[in-house]
Every structure is written in C-alpha cells, then in structure tokens.
Amino acid sequence: MGKNTFVALLRGIMPMNPNMQSAKLKQAFEEMGFKNVRTVISSGNVIFESSSNDSQALESKIETALPKLLGFSSSTIVESKENIQRLLEKNPFKNAVKGKPNVTFFKQPPKRSELPEGSKYFKSYGLVGGVFCYTVDLDVVKTPEAMLTLEKNFGKGITTRTWQTVERIFAKM
C-alpha cells in the first residue's frame, strides 16, 4: 500500500516542556508506527507518512497516543500534503498590504467564516479550502488576544499557523 504524506498540527505545544520538544514528538510519532517523521519549527508541526488516508482516524490515533507516550493531551488536526498544496496555490494573501498573514485550521468545518463585528485588527480573506485566512495587525493587538478572539468565534477545535509556517511545512513535505 502506498504512503500518504500528512502534517499533524498540534495545538498548545510549548517547547519549554521537555515532552513537547521536537525530538520527543518525532520519537512518539515513530512509536505510533508512522514513517519518515520530521518536525517543522518547535510549535507542534509533525510531518509523517501513513498507509491510511483517513485524516480523522489519524487525528484520533495521535490524540489517544500522546497522553500515553508523552504525558500531555493536544487537540490535533491532520492535513494532507495535497490540501496544504491547494491552499498555497490559492494564496489569498498575494494582494495583502498590511498585517501578518495567518491561517486557522479546524477539526470540524466552522459554522461561520467571518469574525464578528469589532474585530478591527483582523482583515478576513474568508475560507480557502476549509481554512480561515486572515491578516492580523500586531501593532494594534498582541497574539494572545488575537487567539482568544478566534477561539471565542470558532471554539477550541482550531489551531493557527502563520502563512510562512505553512510554506515551511509544505517545503519539508
């Protein structure tokens, strides 16, 4: 059976925690039976190969194994190499002039694709392939406050990456 390439986007990874560091994550994913495991920056981006092509089953497997192998739980979103490639090809930010480009991935499709009124430091580029794309003005708002706004709007089944991180993930896939 062929191998499919995925990235696991782990939520809430803090590299100061020894069990959340890249080397430990890599080892844990290898213990789960995944192949060609590599990490991208120290914020919970783990690329791996699997004979499965069921993202939800892979998410469940990872979320069940992490507490046993590393002693912490992390909401996990698994995206295929093909989905990441399609997102990059559509590049909603090619005409963006201000703000830091970010993307928010979802465990479940969101009920809405726009942020509520009053989120003046965000500029929405809408949903692109099921991923919320926006820029955030970090001169006006700090990252923790911006993340809280996203969580209030979309719930906790999300994880966010910068556009640059998504590009780095794809380059390593």
Percent residues over pLDDT 90 in the chain: 60
Percent residues over pLDDT 70 in the chain: 95
- 93: pLDDT strictly greater than 50: yes
Predicted confidence at residue 30, as pLDDT, reads 98
For residue 76, what are the β-bridge partners? 10
Helices 81-90 and 163-172, packing angle to 10 deg: 130
Of 155, 109, 116, 152, nearest to 132 by C-alpha is 109
- Region 84-99: mean pLDDT is 91
Predicted confidence at residue 66, as pLDDT, reads 95
- 1: pLDDT strictly greater than 50: no
Q: pLDDT tens digits, residue range 128-156?
A: 888 999 998 888 888 788 888 888 888 88
Identify the residue whose tokens are 């499965």.
52
Predicted confidence at residue 115, as pLDDT, reads 66
3-class DSSP state of 93: coil
Distance CA 93, CA 90 (A): 9
Of 102, 156, 155, nearest to 131 by C-alpha is 102
Predicted confidence at residue 116, as pLDDT, reads 60
DSSP class of 109: -
Strands 131-136 and 122-128: antiparallel
Identify the residue whose tokens are 């990059």.
88
Helix (H) or strand (E) holding 172: helix 163-172
Angle at 39 between CA 35 and CA 42, to 5 degrees: 155
Cβ neighbours of residue 132 under 8 Å, at least 6 residues apart?
Answer: 103, 104, 106, 110, 113, 124, 126, 150, 154
What does the mean pLDDT of the chain come to?
89
Distance of CA 133 to the CA centre of its chain: 12
Predicted confidence at residue 114, as pLDDT, reads 66
Range of 18-22, 106-110, 160-164 with top mean pLDDT: 160-164
The model's pTM is 0.91
Q: pLDDT tens digits, residue range 40-76?
A: 988 899 999 999 999 999 999 999 999 999 999 999 9
- Region 112-129: mean pLDDT is 75
Predicted confidence at residue 110, as pLDDT, reads 81
Strand order in the sheet with 158-162: 122-128, 131-136, 100-106, 158-162
CATH architecture of the domain 4-82 equals 2-Layer Sandwich (3.30)
